Chain A
Amino acid sequence: MTASSSSRRRFVRNAAGTTALALIPYQGRPAHAGTSEAAVPFEPVFFTPAELEFLSAACERIFPQDDLGPGAVALGVPFFIDRQMDTPYGKGELWYLSGPFHEGPPQLGYQLPFAPRDLYRKGIAAADAYARQRRGRKFSGLSANDQIDLLTAFEGGGVQFPELNARMFFEQLRRNTLEGVFADPVYGGNRAMQGWTLLGFPGARADFMDWVDQNGAPYPFGPVSLARQPL
Chain B
Amino acid sequence: MSRKRTDVVIIGAGWAGSILAKEMREAGRSVIMLERGPERRTAVEGSYPGSIDELRGAIRHRLFQNPAKTTVTIRNTMNQTALPYRQLAAFLPGEGVGGAGLHWSGVHFRAAPDDLRLRSHVIERYGKKFIPEDMNLQDYDVTYDELEPFFDKAEKVFGTSGEAYKIDGKIVGNGNVFAPSRSDAFPLPPMQDVHTAALFRKAAAEAGYHPYSMPAANASKPYLNSYGLQMGPCNFCGYCSGYDCFMYSKASPNINILPALRSDPGFTLISNAHVLRVNLDAERSRATGVTYLDQKADREMTIEAELVIIAAFQFHNVHLMLLSGIGKPYDPVSNTGVVGRNFVYQTLTTSHAWMGRNDYTNQFVGAGGAGVAIDDFNSDNFDHGPLGFIGGSPVWVNQAGIKPIAAAMSGGGKSSPRWGKGFKEALVDTYRHSFAIDAHGSNMAYRDVYLDLDPTWKDSYGQPLLRMTFTWKDNDIRMNQYVVGKIEPIMKALGARHYELGRLEYGEPFDTRRYQTTHLGGGAVMGADPRTSALNRYLQSWDVSNVFVIGSNAFPQGMGYNPTGTVAALAYWAAHHIRTRYLMHPGPLVHRA
Q: Which residues of A contact B (CB under 8 A)?
A: 19-21, 23, 61-64, 66, 68-69, 87, 89, 92-98, 100, 102, 104-111, 148, 151, 155, 174-175, 177-179, 181-184, 186-187, 195-196, 198-202, 204, 206-209, 211-219, 226
Known: A199-B407, A200-B360. A206 touches B237 (CB 8 A): yes
B352 interface hit (Cβ, 8 Å):
no
Query: Measured between C-beta atoms, what is the minimum distance from A78 to chain B in Å?
Result: 16
Number of interface residues of B (CB under 8 A): 73
A-B pairs, top 4 by smallest CB distance, nearest first, are: A182-B404, A206-B237, A183-B55, A216-B359
Residues of B within 8 A of A179 (CB): 55, 59, 405
Cα A183 to Cα B355 with chains together (Å): 27
Question: Is B83 in contact with A184, judged by CB distance below 8 angstroms?
Answer: no
Question: Is B456 in contact with A100, judged by CB distance below 8 angstroms?
Answer: yes
B456 nearest CB neighbor, chain A only: A100
Known: A179-B59, A212-B194. A219 touches B404 (CB 8 A): no
B457 interface hit (Cβ, 8 Å):
yes
Known: A68-B428, A97-B68. A109 touches B85 (CB 8 A): yes
The residue from A89, A109, A212 contacting B192, defined by CB atoms under 8 A apart? A212
B421 interface hit (Cβ, 8 Å):
yes
Question: Is B405 in contact with A107, judged by CB distance below 8 angstroms?
Answer: no
Question: Is B86 in contact with A96, judged by CB distance below 8 angstroms?
Answer: yes
Query: Measured between C-beta atoms, what is the minimum distance from A25 to chain B in Å?
Result: 13
Residues of A within 8 A of B427 (CB): 199
Question: Is B512 in contact with A204, judged by CB distance below 8 angstroms?
Answer: no
Known: A68-B428, A94-B61. A226 touches B83 (CB 8 A): no
Q: Which residues of B contact A (CB under 8 A)?
A: 47-50, 52-55, 59-61, 66-68, 71, 74-76, 80-87, 89, 192-195, 198, 233, 235-239, 246, 355, 358-362, 364-365, 403-405, 407-409, 418-421, 423-425, 427-428, 431-432, 456-458, 460, 509-513
In the complex, which of the residues A98, A212, A216, A219 has the most CB atoms of chain B within 10 Å of its own CB atom? A212
Question: Is A211 in contact with B87, judged by CB distance below 8 angstroms?
Answer: no
Residues of B within 8 A of A87 (CB): 60
Residues of A within 8 A of B54 (CB): 182-184
Residues of A within 8 A of B89 (CB): 109
Question: Is B428 in contact with A206, judged by CB distance below 8 angstroms?
Answer: no
Residues of A within 8 A of B355 (CB): 216
Known: A179-B405, A219-B362. A174 touches B418 (CB 8 A): yes
Q: Is the interface of B mostly helix, strand, loop or mixed?
A: loop
A21 nearest CB neighbor, chain B only: B49
Residues of B within 8 A of A198 (CB): 424, 428
Residues of A within 8 A of B87 (CB): 94-96, 109-110
The residue from B74, B246, B409 contacting A175, defined by CB atoms under 8 A apart? B409
Known: A96-B85, A102-B81, A211-B365. A107 touches B420 (CB 8 A): no
Known: A182-B405, A204-B52. A219 touches B360 (CB 8 A): yes
Question: Is B55 in contact with A108, judged by CB distance below 8 angstroms?
Answer: no
Supply 30 A–B pairs (Cβ within 8 Å), ascending by A.
A20-B47, A20-B49, A21-B50, A62-B419, A95-B86, A96-B86, A104-B81, A105-B509, A107-B510, A107-B513, A108-B75, A108-B83, A109-B86, A179-B405, A181-B408, A182-B54, A182-B403, A182-B405, A183-B54, A183-B55, A183-B59, A200-B431, A208-B235, A208-B237, A212-B236, A212-B365, A214-B362, A215-B195, A216-B358, A218-B360
Cα A108 to Cα B87 with chains together (Å): 10
Cα A219 to Cα B236 with chains together (Å): 14
Cα A66 to Cα B428 with chains together (Å): 13
Cα A28 to Cα B534 with chains together (Å): 61
Question: Is B194 in contact with A213, judged by CB distance below 8 angstroms?
Answer: yes
The residue from B59, B84, B420 contacting A98, defined by CB atoms under 8 A apart? B84
A187 nearest CB neighbor, chain B only: B55
Residues of A within 8 A of B428 (CB): 68, 198-200
The residue from B71, B83, B236, B409 contacting A208, defined by CB atoms under 8 A apart? B236
Known: A95-B68, A107-B513. A206 touches B409 (CB 8 A): no
Cα A151 to Cα B421 with chains together (Å): 13
Question: Is A109 in contact with B83, judged by CB distance below 8 angstroms?
Answer: yes
Cα A116 to Cα B83 with chains together (Å): 20
Q: Is the interface of A mostly helix, strand, loop or mixed?
A: loop
A198 nearest CB neighbor, chain B only: B428
Question: Is A19 in contact with B239, judged by CB distance below 8 angstroms?
Answer: no
Cα A111 to Cα B457 with chains together (Å): 13
The residue from B83, B423, B431 contacting A63, defined by CB atoms under 8 A apart? B423
Query: Measured between C-beta atoms, what is the minimum distance from B106 to chain A in Å?
Result: 16
Query: Measured between C-beta atoms, what is the minimum distance from B536 to chain A in Å?
Result: 35
Known: A63-B424, A195-B404. A102 touches B457 (CB 8 A): no
Cα A213 to Cα B424 with chains together (Å): 26
Query: Measured between C-beta atoms, what is the minimum distance from A83 to chain B in Å?
Result: 11
Query: Measured between C-beta atoms, what is the minimum distance from B364 to chain A in Å?
Result: 6
Question: Is B86 in contact with A110, judged by CB distance below 8 angstroms?
Answer: yes
Cα A196 to Cα B355 with chains together (Å): 21
Known: A174-B418, A209-B235, A213-B193. A104 touches B83 (CB 8 A): yes
Residues of A within 8 A of B432 (CB): 199-200, 218
Q: 8 extra interchain contacts, Cβ-Cβ under 8 A, other than A96-B67, A104-B81?
A: A89-B60, A96-B71, A102-B83, A107-B76, A109-B74, A181-B408, A206-B52, A208-B365
Question: Is A178 in contact with B408, judged by CB distance below 8 angstroms?
Answer: yes
Cα A69 to Cα B424 with chains together (Å): 9
Cα A141 to Cα B456 with chains together (Å): 46
Question: Is A93 in contact with B404, judged by CB distance below 8 angstroms?
Answer: no
Question: Is A107 in contact with B509, judged by CB distance below 8 angstroms?
Answer: yes
B73 nearest CB neighbor, chain A only: A108
A206 nearest CB neighbor, chain B only: B237
Query: Measured between C-beta atoms, what is the minimum distance from A161 to chain B in Å?
Result: 19
Residues of B within 8 A of A102 (CB): 81, 83
In the complex, which of the residues A181, A204, A216 has the most CB atoms of chain B within 10 Å of its own CB atom? A216
Residues of A within 8 A of B236 (CB): 208-209, 211-212
Cα A36 to Cα B456 with chains together (Å): 54
A209 nearest CB neighbor, chain B only: B235
Question: Is A63 in contact with B404, judged by CB distance below 8 angstroms?
Answer: no
The residue from A175, A196, A226 contacting B49, defined by CB atoms under 8 A apart? A226
